Amino acid sequence: MKTREEYIESLKKLNLEVYLLGEKVEDPTEHPIIKPSMNSVAMTYELAQQPEYEDLMTVTSSLNGEKINRFTHLHQSTDDLVKKVKMQRLLGQKTASCFQRCVGLDAANAVFSTTYECDEAHGTHYHENFKKYWDRIQREDLVVDGAMTDTKGDRALSPSQQADPDMYLRVVERREDGIVVRGAKAHQTGIINSHEVIVMPTIALRPEDKDYAVAFALPADAKGIFMIYGRQSCDTRKLEPNADIDVGNKNFGGHEALMIFDDVFVPNELIFMNGETDFAGMLVERFASYHRQSYGGCKVGVGDVLIGATALAADYNGVPKASHIKDKIIEMNHLNESLYSCGIACSCEGCATKAGNYYVDTLLANVCKQNVTRMPYEITRLAEDIAGGLMVTMPSQQDFDNEKLKPYIEKYLKGTDDVPTEDRMRILRLIENITLGTAAVGYRTESMHGAGSPQAQRIMIGRQANVAHKKELAKEIAGINKKK
């Protein structure tokens, strides 16, 4: 396994083509806007080295018997699924942001089982390709991104019906030694901190969409790939001199980027699907369900930090004993633990796939994510309620550092007498960061749309809930259709 330092060194060796604020980034690992997100991923390496977290963060590989980071593991039991969620909560607590490494983990587990069943049906050899590939990822302890979301153009049209055929990533050329692909993947979490990427289709496909049924892996710096960094609310605060208080979370963050595949060659051995439209739906559904489970861990960990920050804000305001404040903090915890319960439940109810790795309970994973589209918003509302308006009207750090202004800010923005004004400012900025700032990308809008927008879960819940069986139960109890 790599140390934090070895991870960062290995990123420096990549030749990523990244653009941010209109300019090419020379060294993403040193860019002040990107660096906090790298620190979040680095935490997945750091914690794996700490004896206290060994059981949660590391595991024995099912592919090669070596000790590996759990972020590269193919789940072998429901216990592994539960530990995944606990690990994500821990990382959320340590970073208060998206730590990005789960996407590749979820992609790997989905591709592992889907390729097995695709080979069984079509006589293809994708599963072996994938096993060989993933064995290397585990041994080298790499970060792999999962690229699913196409840009989608006109949502009413299928991929092959689009005015521009590149709105979904597709195969543009089939060669003896591989394929050439073109398209873009949107909202790519953590791609600039990743060594590799696994690309998958974004929706279930029909036979006429054959060129879009494609899954493969590539190094993130493969020829023809480039990224345009996604802007985040308040991101340029990180560029201000001595940026600290105003960024809210100085050391950690997440990122997304638009990833362009400009006629990129993929060699045969890295292809995991090539035209098998009947397996696109399975791959999408499995990846989505794993990632919907993931949110029952990571968002809960961030929620823990937000609840802590809110309770501190109440302390600093001198109102920790007010009954409505106590009740609101209880409600925040109730909502947060409800999310966690869903993450744990869909893990405990998981089962083995034909390929042997473990898969979550689809219905409960979708219920988990559906709750994630709502509860962090309510937690956020309560945090803002308790924090008060100062979190968005406070003077800047530069004002606080100004000799003339500092005594006035210290005097008038003080809460309880025993707490320095600076501490109060820091905690309010942290709440602002999670609810409105850079981390809100992960805690709010991503809670809505990440791993599929709310309607996608409702469709799955509708399919999985077995209402017919429930009708039978009701009939039985009500004595309907009973033979006399």
Q: Look at the block and give the residue holding tokens 């050439």.
A: 180
Q: Can you name the residues that pair with 67 across neighbouring β-strands?
A: 60
Report the length, in residues, of the chain. Answer: 484
CB nearer to ligand SF4: give 99 or 126.
99
The distance of closest approach from Cβ of residue 132 to Fe ion in the complex, given in angstroms and rounded to an integer, is 27
What is the Cα–Cα distance from 81 to 345, expressed in whole angstroms?
Answer: 10
Selected range binding ligand SF4 among 2-10, 118-126, 180-188, 293-301, rule: CB under 6 A:
293-301
Q: Which stretch binds ligand SF4 (CB under 6 A): 98-106, 125-133, 176-184, 383-391?
A: 98-106
Closer to Fe ion at the Cβ: 61 or 188? 188
Distance, in Å, from the CA atom of 306 to the CA atom of 334, rounded to the nearest integer, reads: 13
99 near ligand SF4 (CB under 6 A): yes
297: contact with Fe ion by CB under 5 A = no
Q: Please choose, out of 28-36, 230-238, 294-302, 401-409, the segment that lies near ligand SF4 by the rule CB under 6 A.
A: 294-302
Q: Is 98 one of the catalytic residues?
A: yes
Tokens of 69: 């980071």
Rounded Cα distance, 243 and 97, in Å: 18
Residue 290 C-beta: closest distance to ligand SF4, Å:
9
Nearer to ligand SF4 (CB atom), residue 210 or residue 286 = 286
316 is catalytic: no
Compare residues 146 and 415 and give the one whose CB is closer to ligand SF4.
146
Partner touching 285 among Fe ion, ligand SF4, none, CB below 5 to 8 Å by kind: none
Told to judge if 291 belongs to the known catalytic residues of this protein, a careful annotator would answer yes
Binding mask 216-255 for ligand SF4 (x = CB under 6 A): --------------------------------------x-
Torsions phi, psi for 248 (to 5 deg)? 80, -45
Q: Is 298 in the site for ligand SF4 (CB under 6 A)?
A: yes
Cα 63 to Cα 134: distance, rounded to the nearest angstrom: 8
Residue 438 touches which of Fe ion, ligand SF4, none (CB < 5 to 8 A by kind)?
A: none
Q: For tokens 């977290």, name the residue.
A: 53
Q: Is the distance from CB of 361 to CB of 345 less than 8 angstroms?
A: yes
Vertex 445, ends 444 and 449: CA angle to 5°? 125
- Exactly one of 7, 98, 187, 438 is catalytic; name it: 98
Which residues fall within 8 angstroms of residue 40, CB to CB, at 6 or more apart? Answer: 91, 95, 97, 98, 99, 100, 252, 253, 254
Binding mask 358-377 for Fe ion (x = CB under 5 A): --------------------
> Which of 14, 450, 456, 457 touches Fe ion by CB under 5 A?
450
C-alpha dihedral (252, 258, 262, 267), degrees to nearest 10: 50
The CB-of-450 to ligand SF4 minimum distance in angstroms stands at 6
User: Which H or E run contains 308?
Assistant: helix 280-317
Burial class from Cβ neighbours inside 10 Å (0-12, 13-18, 19+) for residue 127 reads buried
Contact 274, 214 (CB under 8 A): yes
> Rounded CA gap, 344 and 371, in Å?
14
Q: Site mask, ligand SF4, residues 306-325, x = CB under 6 A? A: --------------------
- Structure tokens, 133: 């590939």
Residue choice 33, 48, 82, 102 for contact with ligand SF4 (CB under 6 A): 102
Question: Whole-number minimum distance, CB 46 to ligand SF4, in Å?
Answer: 16
Which residue pairs, CB below 8 angstroms and at least 24 apart, start in 164-169?
168/201, 168/202, 168/209, 168/212, 169/199, 169/201, 169/212, 169/214, 169/261
**What is the pattern of x (binds ligand SF4, CB under 6 A) and - over residues 425-464?**
-----------------x---x---x--------------
201 touches, from Fe ion, ligand SF4, none (C-beta below 5 to 8 Å by class): none
CA distance 210 to 205: 8
Residue 227, strand partner residues: 18, 259
Q: Whole-number minimum distance, CB 41 to ligand SF4, in Å?
A: 10
189 assigned binding-site residue: yes
Question: Would you count residue 230 as binding Fe ion (CB under 5 A)?
Answer: no
Rounded (10°) CA dihedral 109, 113, 118, 121 = 180
* Residues contributing to the site for ligand SF4 (CB under 6 A): 98-100, 102-103, 189, 254, 294-295, 298, 442, 446, 450
Query: Residue positions in the annotated binding site for FAD?
Result: 189
- Catalytic annotation, residues: 98, 102, 189, 256, 291, 295, 298, 446
List residues binding Fe ion (CB under 5 A). 450
Annotated binding site: 189
